[in-house]
Amino acid sequence: MNAIKKLLGIVWIGLGLAAGYYLLINQAIPKFESGKPEDMIPAIIYTFILSPIIVGGLGIFGYYSLTGEYSDN
């Protein structure tokens, strides 16, 4: 079971990186490039608030899983 938890730690880290990439590339950058004032606020929120929370949270969860913090011992 602990081996599965460590494997899933890698999955969580990869999922965090993929979510951050998607959020920045597909959501934030097109809104920055549109130049409309109503698109700037969501772009700033995506870039400076949501991305660090999502990537950091999933990354830390995956790191703890890899290091054995959730082991059964």
pLDDT tens for residues 20-70? 999 999 999 999 999 898 999 999 999 999 999 999 999 999 999 999 998
Q: With respect to residue 13, please indicate whether it lies within any of the assigned structural domains.
A: yes
Nearest to 19 by CA among 62, 64, 73: 62
Q: How far apart are CA 56 and CA 69, in angstroms?
A: 17
Range of the domain at 52: 2-67
Q: With respect to residue 29, please indicate whether it lies within any of the assigned structural domains.
A: yes
pTM (predicted TM-score): 0.84
Find out whether 52 and 19 touch, Cβ atoms under 8 Å: no
Find out whether 24 and 47 touch, Cβ atoms under 8 Å: yes
The amino acid at residue 64 is Y
C-alpha radius of gyration, the chain, whole number: 16
Q: With respect to residue 7, please indicate whether it lies within any of the assigned structural domains.
A: yes
Number of separate domains in the chain:
1
Reported as a single tens digit per residue, the pLDDT across 37-48 is: 899 999 999 999
Residue with tokens 């993929």: 18
Q: With respect to residue 72, please indicate whether it lies within any of the assigned structural domains.
A: no
